[in-house]
Chains A and B, each alone.
Chain A
């Protein structure tokens, strides 16, 4: 059974290949769009590329093992790296673990110690649930900041297409990281 350290090692090992492959693929698409005067679309392709890499790297802490009740390796990393903010993130990720545990019990999903390594958390469904969990406080924060800044006549808002690109790239970036994680788990 690969532990948290093994998962982190492989995640880090794949960081450069993910960056290199996505750079080649999206670089070619964006450049061909840009040369044919479609600068607007090219920019969105590159935005997608940027967010994929950001979310892949965040996949080392937002990983499927957050379903473990207690302190997982990634949660230990969050507490070590982010100080006081890490305490709040840890509390929130514990809410995720407890929720998954509860849902697994209700749906009679079989996993280790509750929901761990079940399809509920270690599958594309799990990735989608985590994305929704991550986005809930982000959306709330975005709302507060954009409304707060309006008081100073500053408009802080993103277009729907920007948000869609962000969300899609989040699914792909975390999906790749989770795919590596689940593959390592399945080898044992």
Chain B
């Protein structure tokens, strides 16, 4: 697992801990953190 993947995993874990706050700006930010975190988590360099 590369450094980028580890940062992504960290973001996903942080995001998952904050999901229950519904209908607030925090939830909006959390979904951004989760999506970006997921993308970094599965990112692989090159073909």
Contacts and interface: CB of A to CB of B under 8 A. Distances in A.
Q: Please report whether the interface of chain A is mostly helix, strand, loop or mixed according to DSSP.
A: helix
B28 A34 contact: yes
A43 interface: yes
Q: Please report whether the interface of chain B is mostly helix, strand, loop or mixed according to DSSP.
A: helix
B23 A50 contact: no
B17 interface: no
Interface of A: 9, 12-13, 15, 19, 23, 30, 34, 39-40, 42-43, 46-47, 49-50, 53-54, 57
26 contacts: A9-B47, A12-B44, A15-B39, A15-B43, A23-B35, A30-B28, A34-B25, A34-B28, A39-B24, A39-B25, A39-B27, A40-B23, A43-B27, A43-B28, A43-B31, A46-B31, A46-B32, A49-B31, A50-B31, A50-B34, A50-B35, A50-B38, A53-B35, A53-B38, A54-B38, A57-B38
